[in-house]
Structure 1
Amino acid sequence: MTNDLKTPPETAIQLHNDQTPTTKVAAEAETGTMSGSLRPLVSSSSTTKFSRNYHVMYIGLRLVCFSASLISVVVMTTAKQKSSISVFGFDLPLNSRWSLSGSFQYVVGVSSVVGVHSLLQLVMTISRMLRKSLVFSSRSHAWLIFASDQVLAYAMISAGSAATGVTNLNRTGIKHTALPNFCKPLHSFCERVGVSIGFAFFNCVLLATSAFLDVVWLSS
């Protein structure tokens, strides 16, 4: 009789002890699952936000760069003027065109290449943004664009500097000679050339900024 009465409490105690570890394991598993599922969501959200901001900056930069290149080319290629100048009492006709100067042709050539490069990158970036993919397909692609931006920036500096020298010579003349200021009778021509050169140097800044964004992407 005594043994029969003690059996139920012992069974209840054993059941209680068996359920406790199972409950703890289930709770820990559930907590681990919840924490594990939340971490990828947070990481994915921050990555998506960074990628979206990067896309917007990159698209805006390429759009401005393309616009500056287009303005530089259009203004330079429309720079032409006819006038006359008096030298030693003789009136000499002047017919100035941008194509008569190799430096001005250099500006047009480099600006055209920069414009095409910026337009291609703009279209590719918009396409990738709509497909919700990264700006660059791989690190090799990013390095290629970085090198292209660097080369074009240096070429644009070279072209702008060469054209500036020619324009300054037309404006001030040559010292110790009777060469006059050609920009005085050809003010419209010189102003257009100056505007084109200004946008060429502005493109240098934009390409340098683009190269910086390429480095940011590569280092992320």
Structure 2
Amino acid sequence: MDMKTPPEYPTIKDATMTVESGSAVSEPGRKLFRNYDVMHVTLRIVCLSASLASVIVMITAKQKSTLSLYGFDLPVYSKWSFSDSFDYLVGVSAAAGVHSLLQLLMTSRMLLKKSPIISSRKHAWLLFAGDQVFAYAMMSCGSAASGVTNLNRTGIKHSSLPNFCKPLHSFCDRVALSIAFAFFGCFLLAMSSVLDVVWLSEY
């Protein structure tokens, strides 16, 4: 008994041929590649900018002022390098910026060659792992720095430790802004990881 097999329809994966093999790429495949490339490059540029902003704002955080304590005016001076948590944030933000810069340079090189920015699934997994590591690191350093900043703003309850952010408001504002950029960079790296997963699921 002859049974007719149903016709097979091409899927997205079938329609999207790799450029490296020299095969033609269909219009849906080209569109998916273009959309992914644009989102990937955009995320890298914004993440690099956020990381650099976090570092620059933090390393310029320093201020001299006077603190009134029990009727005495005491000179106070604060600088970002006085706190290990702030050092940690600067180091991690700088490393995340270098990661984004390297990926952006590699992406630009592939785009100039008119090739897909991700050459293989192994490459995609490496990008995913790197983005995850730096996203968690940015979250960690932002959280550590936030704890110190909150202590500076509120002081310690049931003790004489004052609110240092009153006389050093400019310093605390810069630190808070740097932490905000760090958390924003964490969010962007997490979005990049999601984009890597989408690429892996589609290709």
TM range, smaller chain = 0.7 to 0.9
Aligned residue in 2 for 1:100: 82
User: In structure 2, the residue corresponding to 1:162 is in which secondary structure?
Assistant: helix
Larger radius of gyration: 1
User: In structure 1, the residue corresponding to 2:86 is in which secondary structure?
Assistant: helix
Aligned residue in 2 for 1:45: 27
Any unmatched runs of 5+ in structure 1? 1-38
Counterpart of 1:124 (choices 106, 130, 133) is: 106
Q: Following TM superposition, by how much is the alpha carbon of 1:208 offset from its aligned partner in structure 2, in angstroms?
A: 0.5
Deviations 1:101-138 (A, max 9, x none): 00001110010011011111111112211212111122
Q: Residue 135 and residue 200 in structure 1: after superposition, are their counterparts in 2 closer, same or farther (change >3 A)?
A: same
Aligned residue in 2 for 1:137: 119
Question: How many Å separate the matches in 1 of 2:87 and 2:180?
Answer: 15
More helix by share: 1
Question: Would you say 1:203 and 2:185 are equivalent positions?
Answer: yes
User: In structure 2, the residue corresponding to 1:94 is in which secondary structure?
Assistant: strand
Deviations 1:20-60 (A, max 9, x none): xxxxxxxxxxxxxxxxxxx8899622212211111111001
The equivalences for 1:1-220 within 5 A come to 44-220=26-202
Question: How many Å separate the matches in 2 of 1:81 and 1:156?
Answer: 25
User: In structure 1, the residue corresponding to 2:26 is in which secondary structure?
Assistant: helix
Question: How many Å separate the matches in 2 of 1:173 and 1:73?
Answer: 25
Question: How many Å separate the matches in 2 of 1:86 and 1:43?
Answer: 71
Q: Would you say how many aligned residue pairs link Structure 1 and Structure 2?
A: 182
Question: How many Å separate the matches in 2 of 1:102 and 1:89?
Answer: 31
Deviations 1:5-29 (A, max 9, x none): xxxxxxxxxxxxxxxxxxxxxxxxx
Aligned partner letter, 2:70: F
User: In structure 2, the residue corresponding to 1:95 is in which secondary structure?
Assistant: strand
Aligned partner letter, 1:63: I
Any unmatched runs of 5+ in structure 2? 1-14, 18-22
Question: How many Å separate the matches in 1 of 2:57 and 2:24?
Answer: 50
User: So what's the TM-score if we normalise by structure 2?
Assistant: 0.86
- Which 4+ runs in 1 deviate beyond 3 A? 39-43
Question: How many Å separate the matches in 2 of 1:132 and 1:219?
Answer: 22
User: In structure 2, the residue corresponding to 1:180 is in which secondary structure?
Assistant: coil
